[in-house]
Structure 1
Amino acid sequence: MDFEMSGEAVALRHELRDLVREHVRDDFLGAFTADPADLETAQAFCRLLAERGLLCMSWPPEFGGRGSTPWEQTVVREEMWAHHEPRGAQYMGVNWVGPTLMRHGTPEQQRKHLPPIASGEVIWCQGFSEPEAGSDLASLRTTATRDGDGWRINGQKIWTSYATMAQWCFLLARTSRGEKKQRGLTIFLVPMDDPAITVRPIGAMLGPHHLNEVFFDDLRVTEADVLGTVDDGWSIVQNVLSFERVGIARYARCERLLHMAPDALGDRWDALPAELRARWARMLVHCRRARLLAYRVVALQASGEVKPTDSAAYRIAVTKLDQDSAEVLMEIVAAIPPDPSSAAETYRLEVEDHWRYSQASTVSSGSIEMQRILLARTLVSTR
């Protein structure tokens, strides 16, 4: 495998870093804080990327992209996550909602939804998990029932990120029952401003706006809101998850924060225990491993050969890296004396934010236990 980036990709990385330095505050820790200015920073940065053709680079030109290589889009993904995702929630629309619509959407759905995503003007949320259907997603209870020329949807979703600010929801509901629970599921594209939808935020240490409960009470939708074939939504879900699980370049933020540690500590770096510095070096090696696994999945996606087990192997490695590196970094910043005016204090806040976010990484988008089961089953069946 040779995943050496091209000269164009290297130049793009420098361009993105310059844009972040120029348009995003040094103390920016994400869009979903209690300060509305952080969300506006992200929305403005999205529009800037869109104007420069950098938001959806790998999308075909007819859908608002530049037809760039998956590797250039990977560079965007890495630089955005490394700098606390100044695109806000847009990665969801860019990484998997848009590509899924290109594969499964009608021409009308593509004309309606793709241009707002490509221009950075719309936020999507994902209506998958439920109180009794998380890792076992196919056990969901939200139902969509035929009602004349449309459908009525009733049920509850939970852990729905960005639901308080999203304009659209990519919703999975049960439309029929059969012998296999994976059959009879359908995807609906639902406007979040419908009065039949209620959103209740869930308090968490990640901060406001991250997690929510969403209730659907006789939500009326039409056939035009159905994505793909009725009762065959599970095949779309599998496609979505393979894009989603590689779509967040967690290793990029880990690697950036690890590389920053010696400069942030200055003279105190040499005074750290040798064992801690050895663990720091080991985390850098693990960053490289996760990066190469991600690149392998990107290469397979580009050739149309990616399997759920490919993204599962990457997911296991990168979520463990997220948590293990966060623990090492928290021990390192403990050596920095409090000083709100110092650059080291900004670094400490970055590390603490990384630690908080990492705690859920082995659960979100499919738990690490389910990824291991999927991987093990595949390995056994191929023996």
Structure 2
Amino acid sequence: MGAQATALRGQLRSLVAEQLPEDFMGAFTDDPADLAAAQQFCRTLAEQGLLCMSWPAEFGGRDASVWEQTVVREEMWAHHEPRGAQYMGVNWVGPIIMRHGTPEQQQRHLPPIANGEVIWCQGFSEPEAGSDLASLRTTARRDGDGWLVSGQKIWTSYATMAQWCFLLARTSKEDKKQQGLTIFLVPMSDPAIQVRPIRCIMGPHHLNEVFFDDLRVTEADVLGEIGAGWSIVQDVLSFERVGIARYARCEKLLNDAPRALGAAWAELPDELRARWTRMLVHCRRARLLAYRLVELQSKGQVRPGDASGYRIAVTKLDQDSAEVLMEIIAAADVDDPGVRRFRDEVEDHWRYSQASTVSSGSIEMQRILLSRALLAAS
């Protein structure tokens, strides 16, 4: 889809230039105007059929190919993800509800996502259950025709702004800890839910604690089967890990470096420029791994090992490229406005990269999953 992809990239870049402030650095800064700009940008994308391109038309998409959606994904991440928190609903909450939700759940939740009107958060990790998610302690105990959910989640991105939570809780004690887990779709406006922000270098909205104090849920809130939440979680992680095109942001910043530095670029040590070149090669490797996953995903063939291999490559790229870029800007003239903007982008990238090998499953867990997959295949 060469010419088609080029035209789509041009359309998206024009929208970014027209719709977003010149100094836009993402939705989650200390300035509330940035979040407002991202929310409006999402609605603009939705109006032009660009937010959920690959979704079926019956759910608010336009039946575009997964490759067109990949172009959108790359351009958004290359430009500080101006969809803000909406990418979560677009990339995996919506597709998972399409796969496992009832017609009533699909009718309730999919149109607001497709229209860019709703933000979701993910209630997975807990203080004693991060990478070992199946050890979670949040419980849903039977109460009449529903359940009462009590427990704590942590590191919950966007919880302060989200309207809905994709919540994993234990509904029964079974022989294996992966059994007896259930997914609930719950409104964050319920008074039984309390959110406490966690300050971090990435700015507001990214990390939060969420407490559930006898949150009442019903059968209508259950996604899939009672006790079958773990299989849905595996589905979620396959969509989530391929849905974030970090390599696109790395590649754009690396390619921008010579232009931003101007004459100072030639003065950089040869060793540093060699590392810069190596990072561009690693960007291409991560991109090709992502494309392989997109192709497998389009056929319903993504396995945990496939996603883990990509995740390892792209998170290491995130951190390694950030270190190289930080060394490059240390040699730049910060009095030049263009260099100052580039420096701010690099520093923002470095801050985000610090958590990349921990979020969505630590890199150690990804290596374990990949090792198990390779051993099973041998």
TM-score, normalised to structure 1, is 0.98
2:339 paired residue number:
344
1:382 aligned to 2:377? yes
Of 168, 171, 181, which residue of structure 1 is paired with 2:167? 171
Superposed CA deviations along residues 263-311 of structure 1, whole A, max 9, x for unmatched, are 0000000000000000000000000000000000000000111111111
Question: Does the 8 Å contact 2:261/2:333 carry over to 1?
Answer: no
Deviation of the 1:214 alpha carbon: 0.1
Deviation of the 1:335 alpha carbon: 1.3
Superposed CA deviations along residues 71-103 of structure 1, whole A, max 9, x for unmatched, are 000000000011110000000000000000000
Question: Does the 8 Å contact 2:305/2:370 carry over to 1?
Answer: yes
1:304 paired residue number:
300
Q: Distance in 1 between matches of 2:271 and 2:57?
A: 51
Superposed CA deviations along residues 203-232 of structure 1, whole A, max 9, x for unmatched, are 000011110000000001111000000000
1:365 aligned to 2:360? yes
Helix, strand or coil at the partner of 2:177: coil
One-letter amino acid of the counterpart of residue 331, structure 2:
A
| Greater Cα offset, 300-309 or 53-62 | 300-309
1:159 paired residue number:
155
Unaligned runs of 5+ in 2: none
Q: Distance in 2 between matches of 1:166 and 1:144?
A: 21
Helix, strand or coil at the partner of 1:43: helix
Deviation of the 1:59 alpha carbon: 0.2
1:191 paired residue number:
187
Question: Does the 8 Å contact 2:92/2:236 carry over to 1?
Answer: yes
User: Where does 1:210-289 land on structure 2 (aligned, <5 Å)?
Assistant: 210-289=206-285
Superposed CA deviations along residues 24-73 of structure 1, whole A, max 9, x for unmatched, are 12221111111110000000000000000000000000000000000000
TM-score, normalised to structure 2, is 0.99
Helix, strand or coil at the partner of 1:326: helix
Divergent runs of 4+, >6 A: none
Question: Does the 8 Å contact 2:305/2:374 carry over to 1?
Answer: no
Q: Distance in 2 between matches of 1:324 and 1:271?
A: 22
User: Where does 1:1-383 land on structure 2 (aligned, <5 Å)?
Assistant: 5-339=1-335, 342-383=337-378
One-letter amino acid of the counterpart of residue 342, structure 1:
P
One-letter amino acid of the counterpart of residue 199, structure 2:
G
Q: Distance in 1 between matches of 2:243 and 2:376?
A: 28
Count of residue pairs the alignment pairs up: 378
One-letter amino acid of the counterpart of residue 311, structure 1:
A
For the aligned residue pairs, the C-alpha RMSD in angstroms reads 0.7
Deviation of the 1:381 alpha carbon: 2.3
Unaligned runs of 5+ in 1: none
% identical equivalent positions: 77
One-letter amino acid of the counterpart of residue 47, structure 1:
R
Helix, strand or coil at the partner of 2:208: strand
Question: Does the 8 Å contact 2:165/2:187 carry over to 1?
Answer: yes
Question: Does the 8 Å contact 2:304/2:373 carry over to 1?
Answer: no
Superposed CA deviations along residues 155-186 of structure 1, whole A, max 9, x for unmatched, are 00000000000000000000001111000000
One-letter amino acid of the counterpart of residue 223, structure 2:
L
One-letter amino acid of the counterpart of residue 115, structure 2:
S
Deviation of the 1:338 alpha carbon: 2.5
Helix, strand or coil at the partner of 2:149: strand
Q: Distance in 1 between matches of 2:62 and 2:120?
A: 22
Deviation of the 1:378 alpha carbon: 1.6
Deviation of the 1:114 alpha carbon: 0.2
Q: Distance in 1 between matches of 2:134 and 2:332?
A: 47
